[in-house]
Amino acid sequence: MIRVVAWTGGLFAVGWGICHFFPGPFIEPLVLLALGVTLFFVSGRTPAPAREPERDRPSDAVTTTRAAR
């Protein structure tokens, strides 16, 4: 979660700097679009955390035969 906050804060800080360094009516929408695309690709490349395998518990075990399905 900290990495997500760092990426988001860093990208928006860069975007803010670009918007103030290059004042113009079309710069802000382009920067916002670029930030959105960048966040989309960064979030897509971040792997999901590995899940622990579920433990077999007798209360969760369900036995069915092929005919019962």
pLDDT confidence of residue 12: 81
pLDDT confidence of residue 39: 77
Q: Which residues of the chain have pLDDT under 50?
A: none
pLDDT confidence of residue 31: 85
In three-state form (DSSP H/G/I as H, E/B as E, the rest C), the secondary structure along the chain is CHHHHHHHHHHHHHHHHHHHHCCCCCHHHHHHHHHHHHHHHHHHHCCCCCCCCCCCCCCCCCCCCHHHC
pLDDT confidence of residue 67: 57
